[in-house]
Amino acid sequence: MSTPTNVQIINDADGRPAFVVLPYADYIAGCQQPDLVPNEVVGYMVKEGMTAIAAWRRHLDLTQAEVAQRLGISQSAYAQQEAAERPRKATREKIAAALGIPMQSLDL
Protein backbone atom coordinates (compact mmCIF):
# COMPACT_ATOMS: atom_id res chain seq x y z
CA MET A 1 0.00 0.00 0.00
CA SER A 2 1.48 3.34 -1.01
CA THR A 3 1.35 6.33 1.31
CA PRO A 4 -0.10 9.49 -0.23
CA THR A 5 2.48 12.25 -0.60
CA ASN A 6 0.02 15.15 -0.64
CA VAL A 7 -1.08 14.83 3.00
CA GLN A 8 0.42 15.92 6.29
CA ILE A 9 0.05 13.76 9.39
CA ILE A 10 0.07 15.50 12.76
CA ASN A 11 0.97 13.30 15.71
CA ASP A 12 -0.23 13.63 19.29
CA ALA A 13 2.05 13.97 22.32
CA ASP A 14 2.68 10.19 22.30
CA GLY A 15 3.71 10.18 18.66
CA ARG A 16 0.51 8.53 17.39
CA PRO A 17 -1.26 9.99 14.35
CA ALA A 18 -3.97 12.38 15.52
CA PHE A 19 -4.87 14.51 12.47
CA VAL A 20 -4.43 14.45 8.72
CA VAL A 21 -4.22 17.59 6.61
CA LEU A 22 -5.07 17.09 2.97
CA PRO A 23 -5.77 19.30 -0.03
CA TYR A 24 -9.31 20.68 -0.03
CA ALA A 25 -10.03 19.27 -3.51
CA ASP A 26 -9.16 15.77 -2.23
CA TYR A 27 -11.43 16.27 0.77
CA ILE A 28 -14.36 17.37 -1.43
CA ALA A 29 -13.80 14.45 -3.80
CA GLY A 30 -13.85 12.05 -0.85
CA CYS A 31 -17.08 13.57 0.49
CA GLN A 32 -18.85 12.97 -2.80
CA GLN A 33 -18.20 9.26 -3.05
CA PRO A 34 -21.53 7.64 -3.95
CA ASP A 35 -21.12 4.77 -1.50
CA LEU A 36 -20.97 7.05 1.55
CA VAL A 37 -24.15 7.69 3.53
CA PRO A 38 -24.39 11.00 5.40
CA ASN A 39 -24.45 10.77 9.18
CA GLU A 40 -27.76 12.65 9.21
CA VAL A 41 -29.44 9.90 7.14
CA VAL A 42 -28.20 7.19 9.51
CA GLY A 43 -29.34 9.30 12.48
CA TYR A 44 -32.89 9.54 11.12
CA MET A 45 -32.96 5.78 10.68
CA VAL A 46 -31.53 4.92 14.10
CA LYS A 47 -33.00 7.63 16.30
CA GLU A 48 -36.35 8.11 14.60
CA GLY A 49 -36.90 4.65 13.12
CA MET A 50 -37.28 5.94 9.56
CA THR A 51 -36.84 3.76 6.52
CA ALA A 52 -33.87 4.56 4.28
CA ILE A 53 -36.21 6.15 1.73
CA ALA A 54 -37.82 8.43 4.32
CA ALA A 55 -34.46 9.35 5.85
CA TRP A 56 -32.96 10.30 2.49
CA ARG A 57 -36.05 12.35 1.57
CA ARG A 58 -35.85 14.24 4.83
CA HIS A 59 -32.09 14.73 4.49
CA LEU A 60 -32.65 16.22 1.03
CA ASP A 61 -35.33 18.51 2.49
CA LEU A 62 -38.08 17.25 0.19
CA THR A 63 -41.75 16.67 0.96
CA GLN A 64 -43.55 13.46 0.13
CA ALA A 65 -45.61 15.42 -2.39
CA GLU A 66 -42.47 16.68 -4.15
CA VAL A 67 -41.01 13.20 -4.50
CA ALA A 68 -44.38 11.79 -5.58
CA GLN A 69 -44.61 14.44 -8.27
CA ARG A 70 -41.14 13.50 -9.54
CA LEU A 71 -42.30 9.88 -9.69
CA GLY A 72 -45.63 10.70 -11.33
CA ILE A 73 -47.67 9.12 -8.53
CA SER A 74 -49.91 10.40 -5.74
CA GLN A 75 -48.51 11.48 -2.39
CA SER A 76 -50.40 8.68 -0.64
CA ALA A 77 -48.96 6.05 -3.02
CA TYR A 78 -45.48 7.39 -2.36
CA ALA A 79 -46.10 7.39 1.41
CA GLN A 80 -46.88 3.66 1.21
CA GLN A 81 -43.58 3.00 -0.59
CA GLU A 82 -41.69 5.13 1.91
CA ALA A 83 -43.16 3.22 4.84
CA ALA A 84 -42.44 -0.21 3.35
CA GLU A 85 -39.54 -2.04 4.98
CA ARG A 86 -38.17 -3.35 1.67
CA PRO A 87 -39.86 -2.09 -1.53
CA ARG A 88 -39.23 -3.98 -4.75
CA LYS A 89 -35.91 -3.35 -6.50
CA ALA A 90 -37.61 -1.60 -9.44
CA THR A 91 -39.38 0.73 -6.99
CA ARG A 92 -36.15 1.50 -5.14
CA GLU A 93 -34.45 2.29 -8.47
CA LYS A 94 -37.20 4.77 -9.42
CA ILE A 95 -37.17 6.44 -6.01
CA ALA A 96 -33.37 6.70 -5.99
CA ALA A 97 -33.48 8.36 -9.41
CA ALA A 98 -36.16 10.78 -8.18
CA LEU A 99 -33.99 11.63 -5.15
CA GLY A 100 -30.83 11.88 -7.25
CA ILE A 101 -28.92 9.28 -5.24
CA PRO A 102 -27.40 5.88 -6.12
CA MET A 103 -29.87 3.00 -5.67
CA GLN A 104 -27.39 1.25 -3.34
CA SER A 105 -27.94 4.10 -0.86
CA LEU A 106 -31.45 2.77 -0.26
CA ASP A 107 -30.19 -0.75 0.51
CA LEU A 108 -29.39 0.05 4.13
Sequential DSSP letters for 33-71: -TT---HHHHHHHHHH---HHHHHHHHTT--HHHHHHHH
**Neighbouring-strand partners of residue 20:** 9
Given a cut of 50, is residue 103 above it in pLDDT? yes
In this predicted model, what pLDDT tens digit does every residue of 37-76 receive, in sequence order? 888 999 999 999 999 999 999 999 999 999 999 999 999 9
**Percentage with pLDDT > 90 across the chain:** 56
Length of the chain (residues)? 108
More confident call, 94 vs 20: 94
Q: pTM for this structure?
A: 0.69
Q: Pairing state of beta strands 17-21 and 8-11?
A: antiparallel
The fold of the 39-106 domain, in CATH, is 434 Repressor (Amino-terminal Domain) (1.10.260)
Segments making up each domain of the chain, as ranges: 39-106
